């Protein structure tokens, strides 16, 4: 699952976990855990995130591999915030191939940049997330999404795995759209 910051990936992933019994793997949550635990990785991540930059691929990939290995018996995984680049997508494909698995579908939650800003500001007030409070940081995150993550659209379209969901409306309506896609994929 991917989309710009504030698209609702975490909210929708939580609903998918409840309905389908998938394992939600959020790189943001994994990184925040490291930051709160004040690990070396957490200190590095905090410094990068505060500036709106991405954590290096090899660090994120190691965390994802750890999650895959720690949960071998789940029905499926929802990757939220990973992959963010084509290089990460290629790495994920290789990780899954070694396990005899593959990405079955990609859901892209699409919203415009103004909505991204509104949602991030709202989330900052509710969750007291420091990384969501600075306009320059938000701008950097939006630009990083367009430059580094949007190329995944072509990558997954070429593999016939890409699905787009309009991410504006009620949480329930957006989830209904997502559920239709997931149900179709699971039957496929």
**Which residues have CB under 8 Å from 77's CB, separation 6+?**
22, 23, 24, 25, 67, 68, 71
In this prediction, residue 110 carries a pLDDT of 95
CA distance 173 to 179: 10
Helix, strand, coil shares, percent, the chain, to 5: 65, 10, 25
Domain membership flag for residue 165? yes
pTM given for the model: 0.81
Domain membership flag for residue 102? yes
In this prediction, residue 47 carries a pLDDT of 84
Residue with tokens 């994802």: 64
In this prediction, residue 182 carries a pLDDT of 93
Query: What CATH number is associated with residue 138?
Result: 3.40.50.300
In this prediction, residue 188 carries a pLDDT of 65
Strands 77-80 and 23-26: parallel
In this prediction, residue 33 carries a pLDDT of 85
> What value, to the nearest 5°, has the Cα angle with vertex 107 and ends 146 and 85?
40
In this prediction, residue 58 carries a pLDDT of 81
Domain membership flag for residue 75? yes
Domain membership flag for residue 188? no
Domain membership flag for residue 166? yes
In this prediction, residue 94 carries a pLDDT of 93
CA distance 124 to 131: 8
- Least Cα distance to 81 among 60, 59, 50, 111 occurs for 60
Query: In terms of residues, how long is the chain?
Result: 188
Render each residue's pLDDT in the chain as its tens digit; 188 residues.
Answer: 989 988 999 899 999 999 999 999 988 788 888 888 988 878 888 888 777 677 788 878 888 888 888 898 888 999 988 898 899 999 999 999 998 999 999 999 999 999 999 999 888 888 877 767 788 888 988 998 999 899 999 999 999 999 999 999 999 999 999 999 999 988 86
**Could you give the number of structural domains in the chain?**
1
Task: Classify 167 as helix, strand or coil.
Answer: coil
Residue pair 5/116 in contact (Cβ under 8 Å)? The answer is yes
Domain membership flag for residue 2? no
**Which residues have CB under 8 Å from 172's CB, separation 6+?**
none
In this prediction, residue 102 carries a pLDDT of 93
State the residue range of the domain holding 38. 9-182
CA distance 166 to 177: 9
In this prediction, residue 51 carries a pLDDT of 76
Residue pair 108/165 in contact (Cβ under 8 Å)? The answer is yes
Domain membership flag for residue 3? no
Domain membership flag for residue 4? no
């Amino acid at each position: 699952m991917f989309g710009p910051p504030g698209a609702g990936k975490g909210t929708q992933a939580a609903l998918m976990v409840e309905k389908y019994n998938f394992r939600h793997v959020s790189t943001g949550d994994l990184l925040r855990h490291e930051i709160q635990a004040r690990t070396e990785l957490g200190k590095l991540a905090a410094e990068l995130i505060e500036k709106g930059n991405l954590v290096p691929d090899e660090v994120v990939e190691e965390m994802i591999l750890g999650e895959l290995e720690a949960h071998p018996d789940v029905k499926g995984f929802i990757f939220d915030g990973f992959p963010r680049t084509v290089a990460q997508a290629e790495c994920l494909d290789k990780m899954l191939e070694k396990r005899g698995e593959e990405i079955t579908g990609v859901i892209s939650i699409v919203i415009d940049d103004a909505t991204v800003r509104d949602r991030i500001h709202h989330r900052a007030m509710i969750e007291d997330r420091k990384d969501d409070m600075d306009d320059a940081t938000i701008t950097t995150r939006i630009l990083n999404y367009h430059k580094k993550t949007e190329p995944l659209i072509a990558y997954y379209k070429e593999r016939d795995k890409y699905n787009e969901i309009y991410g504006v409306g009620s949480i329930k309506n957006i989830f209904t759209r997502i559920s239709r896609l997931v149900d179709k994929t699971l039957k496929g």
